[in-house]
Chains A and B, each alone.
Chain A
């Protein structure tokens, strides 16, 4: 039966309500299963097909670059990461790299020289003894991995800003890049490089930095995710051209800040 709906403008709202009610009262409930299946099918379709599209990937990369800028803006050079008591140190501390623990490449500490290049005044290569002779600091901070897990560790070494001043780095430059002896590479922004908790790390948990945590030297930043903290550093350079990074070039966010 079709009801004629009165077409008086003043009561049109009410007419719509009545019309809606009439339809709701129809015995549609038996269609419940059928319709839920349809909704389920629809939800399965979402996401598929567009994931690998190149233009979508380009847009996502652009948003990631935008997120770099937002993070640089949020970053407070004076805001310290939380520190923890010795009792909270995670033991054993998790090994993490882009390769397995049995594939760690040994580095000879006696012949090791840290190469320094780019926008710096003093480009002489540093021996481990020279680095150990500099003022040392310690921090117990939380390492947060991009995968989500976190662990608290104790790292010791030279405050990176002290080192940068010592080599006469141009601190108005934008980036510091790192090349590692395990072929890893990454780069960071200058404000983070100058952060008081950014550390050229030579020790872990009170002992010489072991190979699995980056012997002979790593960079520790509690203000950045794990993949931004390079291990086995062989060379560093100051530059105005973004050097990218091993994971960053594959799609991890470049800034990677916490």
Chain B
């Protein structure tokens, strides 16, 4: 093809998206194994869906993938900001628009008028998951270095509180992924655009 149309998702976005997928899958699955070493709820995560084999292995995976998540996230946020994509794609956003689009989506009447534009629910969901990832990183840093980062330690309500924050932020991320995958299954074309760009 000689005259390719401008992609819906630029190449840098697709690359950072899929690197993020790898990092998140490793972090969540190894994180479940780490949680199992000393669960603070009445349940454990089934060993078959965890990563690392044993606690030491899971920690190695977790503390390797954290660099991938952080570096990739930094590139994503940087490019998203300097290209103006963050502003154009995610704003304006209002609670009223989110409710309206959510109701329309539930009735199956949400317009796909332009796949280049995110509807209000998408905007809210993607902004939410960016903030959630930030919370995961900050609570994770607290767990890793509760002594060296005293400000974060206090902000998270201390070490034991940070464990819970990290866990619930993980649960929110997994919740997002489930809805996200369901939406992709409903509109499979979006998977292609995230791979090919158009």
Please give the residue numbers on chain A whose beta carbons come within 8 Å of chain B beta carbons, in ascending order.
7, 9, 12-13, 15-17, 20-21, 23-25, 28-29, 31-32, 35-36, 39, 43-44, 46-47, 51-52, 59-61, 63-64, 67, 71, 74-76, 79-82, 142, 144-150, 222-223, 247, 250-253, 257-258
Contact (Cβ within 8 A) A60 B112: no
Contact (Cβ within 8 A) A148 B35: yes
Report the nearest B residue to A15, measured CB to CB: B5
What string of 1s and 0s marks CB contacts (under 8 Å) between B1-16 and chain A?
0011110100000000
Contact (Cβ within 8 A) B55 A146: yes
Contact (Cβ within 8 A) B56 A251: yes
Taken together as a complex, chains A and B put the C-alpha atoms of A39 and B3 apart, in Å, by 33
Report which of B160, B185, B198 forms a contact with A35, defined as CB distance below 8 A.
B185
Contact (Cβ within 8 A) A20 B193: yes
Please give the residue numbers on chain B whose beta carbons come within 8 Å of chain A beta carbons, in ascending order.
3-6, 8, 25-26, 29, 34-35, 37-38, 40, 49, 51-57, 59-61, 63-64, 67, 112-116, 145-148, 150, 153, 158-160, 163, 181-182, 184-189, 193, 198
Q: List 18 A-B contacts (CB under 8 A).
A: A12-B3, A12-B5, A13-B5, A20-B115, A20-B193, A24-B115, A43-B25, A46-B29, A47-B26, A47-B29, A51-B57, A63-B64, A63-B67, A64-B64, A67-B63, A145-B38, A251-B56, A252-B59
Q: A39-B185, A251-B57 are in contact. List 17 more A-B contacts (CB 8 A).
A: A17-B116, A20-B193, A21-B112, A23-B189, A25-B112, A28-B186, A28-B187, A29-B186, A36-B181, A60-B61, A63-B64, A74-B145, A79-B150, A150-B160, A223-B147, A253-B63, A258-B145
Contact (Cβ within 8 A) A64 B60: yes
With contacts defined as CB atoms under 8 Å apart, how many contacts are there between chain A and chain B in the complex?
A: 131
Contact (Cβ within 8 A) A147 B37: yes
Residues of B within 8 A of A31 (CB): 185, 188
Indicate whether A247 sits within 8 Å of B189 (C-beta atoms), given known contacts A13-B5, A16-B8.
no
Report the nearest A residue to B7, measured CB to CB: A16
Taken together as a complex, chains A and B put the C-alpha atoms of A252 and B150 apart, in Å, by 24
Q: Sorted from nearest, which 6 A-B pairs have the closest CB atoms?
A: A251-B56, A12-B5, A147-B37, A148-B38, A147-B38, A63-B64
Residues of B within 8 A of A252 (CB): 56, 59
Indicate whether A79 sits within 8 Å of B38 (C-beta atoms), given known contacts A28-B187, A60-B64, A247-B56.
no
Report the nearest B residue to A20, measured CB to CB: B115
Contact (Cβ within 8 A) B114 A82: no
Indicate whether A147 sits within 8 Å of B55 (C-beta atoms), given known contacts A36-B181, A36-B182.
yes
Taken together as a complex, chains A and B put the C-alpha atoms of A23 and B188 apart, in Å, by 9
User: Distance (Å) between the CB of A12 and the closest chain B CB?
Assistant: 4
Taken together as a complex, chains A and B put the C-alpha atoms of A180 and B188 apart, in Å, by 60
Taken together as a complex, chains A and B put the C-alpha atoms of A149 and B34 apart, in Å, by 11
Report the nearest A residue to B51, measured CB to CB: A47
Residues of B within 8 A of A61 (CB): 60
Contact (Cβ within 8 A) B67 A253: no
Indicate whether A63 sits within 8 Å of B60 (C-beta atoms), given known contacts A47-B25, A222-B147.
yes
Taken together as a complex, chains A and B put the C-alpha atoms of A24 and B113 apart, in Å, by 10
Taken together as a complex, chains A and B put the C-alpha atoms of A43 and B28 apart, in Å, by 12
Report which of A36, A247, A258 forms a contact with B185, defined as CB distance below 8 A.
A36
Residues of B within 8 A of A39 (CB): 181, 184-185
Residues of B within 8 A of A35 (CB): 185, 188
User: Distance (Å) between the CB of A185 and the closest chain B CB?
Assistant: 16
Residues of A within 8 A of B159 (CB): 142, 144, 150
Contact (Cβ within 8 A) B38 A74: no
Taken together as a complex, chains A and B put the C-alpha atoms of A74 and B150 apart, in Å, by 13
Residues of A within 8 A of B55 (CB): 146-147
